[in-house]
């Protein structure tokens, strides 16, 4: 048998992995005051239905709640009260 002449240099096989998407949530930060903790929503034209049962002593106890939102929902900074609805909508559209 013939001896094969192997090179002393090692050859490595490189495997390339496809990039993968990391799902992480970006924090909303107010561009005006840098608040990233306190926010609130204002819901216009909403109907709240609360169903009650009356107890023997005459007090009412809520048993079910329904909410119907007919108008726009706006998102505001809790610190400077700036309208941040567009930031919230961008974040929700990324999902």
For 51-92, write each residue's pLDDT tens digit.
999 999 999 999 999 989 899 999 999 999 999 999 877 666
What is the number of domains present in the chain?
1
**Residue 44 maps to a domain:** yes
Domain that holds residue 48: 39-93
More confident residue, 54 or 5: 54
Q: What is the pLDDT of residue 34?
A: 94
pLDDT cut 90: percent of the chain above it: 49
**Residue 89 maps to a domain:** yes
Triad 90, 92, 95: Cα angle to 5°: 110
**Residue 61 maps to a domain:** yes
Whole-model pTM over 0.85 = no
- E strand or H helix that includes residue 89: helix 85-93
Tell me how far apart the alpha carbons of residues 37 and 77 are, in angstroms, rounded to a whole number. 9
**Residue 30 maps to a domain:** no
Q: What is the pLDDT of residue 23?
A: 61
Mean predicted lDDT score pLDDT of the chain: 81
**Residue 60 maps to a domain:** yes
**Residue 10 maps to a domain:** no
Q: Is the confidence at residue 9, as pLDDT, over 70?
A: no
């Amino acid at each position: 048998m013939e001896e094969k002449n192997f090179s002393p240099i090692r050859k490595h096989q490189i495997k390339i992995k496809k990039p993968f998407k990391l799902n992480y949530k970006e924090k909303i930060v107010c561009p005006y005051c840098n608040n990233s903790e306190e926010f609130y929503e204002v819901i216009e034209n909403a109907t709240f239905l609360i169903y009650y049962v009356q107890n023997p002593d005459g007090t009412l106890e809520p048993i079910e709640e329904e909410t119907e939102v007919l108008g726009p929902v706006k998102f505001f900074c809790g610190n400077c009260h700036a309208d941040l609805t567009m930031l919230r909508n961008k974040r929700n559209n990324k999902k």
